[in-house]
């Protein structure tokens, strides 16, 4: 029996098939990891583009958010900014993004003459090939921020002296036209 075991141990035929079978799972997992992560990065890029559009669009000069901010006497959160920004964010969802569970939070605040919008998002992408390695989903998250400086209005007063007291080519006569 020991001789048969030594003969089996010394025999090298069939090693390629055994090595291929043993390496198939890790190689498939690595290839799947590359494919699924590149897909997640592509979706992340699209989500960042939507977040950027929402952050900038929420505080566009003619937006309802800026109109409300200009009417505010003090600083604080602008209530119309959140639904307006979320509407802009979700309007960018097309194709596969429209079918993913995506959460977005938009806050718009005014501080002095500065209006800031913050957009944060989180999405869950189901995996395809990484299931071989036991990973069912990948979470994608990020944030975008934009600022808008409101115009600075100044009160100024101008005094016009139309009396001859200034002595600049003034006469006591009144000319009539």
pLDDT tens digits, one per residue of 49-93: 999 999 999 888 888 888 888 888 888 888 888 888 888 898 888
- The dihedral region occupied by 76, where left means phi > 0, alpha psi between -120 and 50, and beta the remainder, is left
Angle, CA of 134, 135 and 137, to the nearest 5°: 150
pTM over 0.85: no
Domain ranges of the chain: 18-149
Instruction: Find all residues with CB under 8 Å of 135, minimum gap 6, and list them.
Output: 36, 127
pLDDT classification of 164: cutoffs 50, 70, 90: low
Nearest to 146 by CA among 59, 83, 66: 59
Please write the tens of the pLDDT for every residue from 19-58.
Answer: 788 888 788 878 888 898 999 999 999 999 999 999 999 8
Residue 122 binned pLDDT confidence (cut-offs 50, 70, 90): very high
């Amino acid at each position: 029996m020991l001789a048969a075991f030594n003969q089996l141990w010394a025999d090298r035929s069939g090693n390629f098939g055994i090595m291929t079978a043993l390496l198939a799972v890790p190689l498939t997992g690595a290839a799947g990891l590359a494919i699924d992560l590149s897909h997640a990065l592509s979706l992340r890029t699209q989500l960042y583009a939507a977040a950027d559009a929402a952050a900038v669009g929420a505080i566009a000069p003619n937006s309802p958010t800026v109109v409300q901010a200009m009417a505010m006497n003090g600083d604080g959160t602008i209530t119309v900014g959140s639904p307006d920004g979320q509407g802009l964010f979700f309007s960018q969802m097309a194709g596969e993004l429209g079918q993913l569970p995506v959460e977005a939070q938009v806050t718009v605040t005014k501080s002095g003459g500065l209006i800031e919008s913050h957009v944060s998002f989180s999405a869950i992408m189901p995996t395809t090939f990484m299931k071989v390695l036991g990973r069912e989903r990948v979470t994608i998250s990020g944030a975008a921020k934009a600022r808008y400086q409101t115009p600075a209005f100044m009160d100024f007063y101008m005094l016009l002296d139309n009396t001859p007291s200034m002595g600049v080519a003034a006469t006591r006569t009144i000319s009539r036209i």
